[in-house]
Amino acid sequence: MLIYLAGLQNVNRELYEAAYIDGAGWWRRHISITFPLVGPTSLFVLVTAIILTFRVFDQIHLMTEGGPGNSSNVIVYYIFENGFKFFDWGRATSLTTILVCILLTLTLIIFGIFGKRITYTAD
């Protein structure tokens, strides 16, 4: 929410005044001004949220350690097990490389889909 608050504070208030003078209602002002100018903030939050979804190591390690029969095991915990429990550094390194490639691919897909629609300035 703090990131969105900073993004909203970055929107120029003169744009809202000009739209109000032109007769735009509350909804039209937000659709035409607020949402496009908060686009870079939304893109940042989306990419950060996707990366953070892969960082669920501590909850799994403390509560279930992979769960009964590996039912709550995720790739990050699997990397930890291979590296520090079984001392299979080669597999842990390979899995880490695969994880980085997955995250890079997801990030590039998101930038490819939403990157062209983002408005960085109010021209």
Q: pLDDT tens digits, residue range 26-72?
A: 999 999 999 999 999 999 999 999 999 888 888 888 888 887 888 88
Average pLDDT of the segment spanning 7-11: 91
Q: How far is CA 31 from CA 15, 36, 116, in A?
A: 13, 7, 18
Entry pTM? 0.79
C-alpha to C-alpha distance for 121 and 27, rounded to whole angstroms: 21
